Amino acid sequence: MLKKITIRKFLVSTAALTALFLIYLIPKENIYSLKDKVATELEYVDKEIVTSTIYLYDHNDFLARTKVATSSKKSIEENIKETLEVLIKDGAGESKIPNGFKAVIPSDTKILSLDYKDNLLKINFSKELLEEVKAKEEEKIIEAIVYTVTSIPEVKQVIIYMEGDIVNYLPKSKITLPATLDRNFGINKEYDIKSNKEINQVTIYYINEYHDETYYVPVTKYLNDKREKINIIIDELASAPIYQSNLMSFLNQNVKLLSSELAGAELNLEFNSYIFNDVDEKNILEEVIYTICLSVGDNYDVSQVSFTVDHEEIYKSVIKTIE
């Protein structure tokens, strides 16, 4: 009897030890909450995705500044190609276009090659780039390409080819282009010229909205005004709440630029107190800062803009951080 009890205890103990051993061998399943999983996936995505500035048609057919998600790659040519593909109608990047915006380059256009060296980008497109477009669209296509690629800090100039030949003439609109293009080419051009003397070219950024989402629209103005460009920028932004169809400025009409000083890579701007949205808190609207700084960035070779009232620096913006 004692022998049977002993054997039974031995068998039970052995079975228990075996079960524990098997449990130990089976890998444990980590249980994550949905929150943990999403956080982990977002952390991974953040490392793989960056945002790129791009110029697309808005709902009023202005070329507008917006952002799209692109992958973080090592080659600058790969980054540029991925961004340019968003400009092509029905192209590989069509799904990235934000609501309210449209691609600019005709469908079936191919990017045949890209070459980047020493701040100069050479892009070779297929013949579809300008083959079937209307006269009024030709210049817009060039503007969108130039402004999109020069939003990349490393790219200062661009040469556009079509089937291996430099695009230096737009056949339908009969516009002659410089072989090498930069932002001096302008965008959303408007002409207010009464004579051929003292013509000034100034690019000014305005505000537009789509379903309560704010974005920025650059307009290059050609006018007979020999004043310093920053004075024209501020006066134009403060001249009226509505500049033209659906383009706005949030700059108070009573704002005055009292002085400006270019010190190296920084432009110092002295305003009266109407620059403030809240005088007590000394707040400046973000939209005001953006319209001024984006405009300065297109007209001056500076990296910083400081806002001063009564000789006190209120805000300093780094151009690179808003591009």
Residue 155 identity (one-letter amino acid): V
The neighbouring-strand residues paired with 51 are 69
- Could you report the per-residue pLDDT of 69-80, keeping only the tens digit for each? 988 777 899 999
Quickly count helices (H) and strands (E) in the chain.
8, 17
For the residues 199-204, what does the mean pLDDT come to?
Answer: 96
Bigger pLDDT: 246 vs 189: 189
CB atoms within 10 A of CB 263: 10
Q: Which of 153, 201, 156 is nearest to 319 (CA)?
A: 153
Bigger pLDDT: 271 vs 242: 271
| Overall pTM > 0.85 | no
Percent of the chain whose predicted confidence (pLDDT) is above 70: 83
The neighbouring-strand residues paired with 222 are 191, 201
Residue with token string 């990349």? 152
- pLDDT for 212 beyond 70: yes
Q: Which of 208, 211, 276 is nearest to 243 (CA)?
A: 208
For the residues 17-21, what does the mean pLDDT come to?
Answer: 44
- Could you report the per-residue pLDDT of 42-84, keeping only the tens digit for each? 344 455 778 899 999 999 999 999 999 988 777 899 999 999 9
- pLDDT for 241 beyond 80: no
For the residues 280-300, what does the mean pLDDT come to?
Answer: 96
- Could you report the per-residue pLDDT of 162-194, keeping only the tens digit for each? 999 999 999 999 999 999 999 999 999 999 999
Cα 125 to chain centroid distance, Å, stands at: 22
Bigger pLDDT: 223 vs 7: 223
- Could you report the per-residue pLDDT of 96-147, keeping only the tens digit for each? 999 999 999 999 999 999 999 999 999 999 999 999 899 999 999 999 999 9
- pLDDT for 15 beyond 50: no
Q: Which of 218, 217, 221, 219 is nearest to 192 (CA)?
A: 221
CA distance 223 to 229: 11
CA distance 210 to 151: 22
DSSP β-ladder status, 190-192 and 213-224: parallel
CA distance 160 to 156: 13
- pLDDT for 239 beyond 70: yes
Question: What's the pLDDT score for residue 240?
Answer: 62
Q: Which of 240, 315, 320 is nearest to 271 (CA)?
A: 315
Q: Where are the alpha helices (DSSP H) in the chain?
A: 2-25, 34-48, 76-86, 128-131, 135-149, 229-239, 286-299, 319-322
CB atoms within 10 A of CB 243: 18
Residue with token string 């075996």? 18
Q: Which tokens is 313 given?
A: 């620096």
Question: What's the pLDDT score for residue 71?
Answer: 83
Domain ranges, ordered by start, for the chain: 45-183, 190-322
Residue 232 identity (one-letter amino acid): I
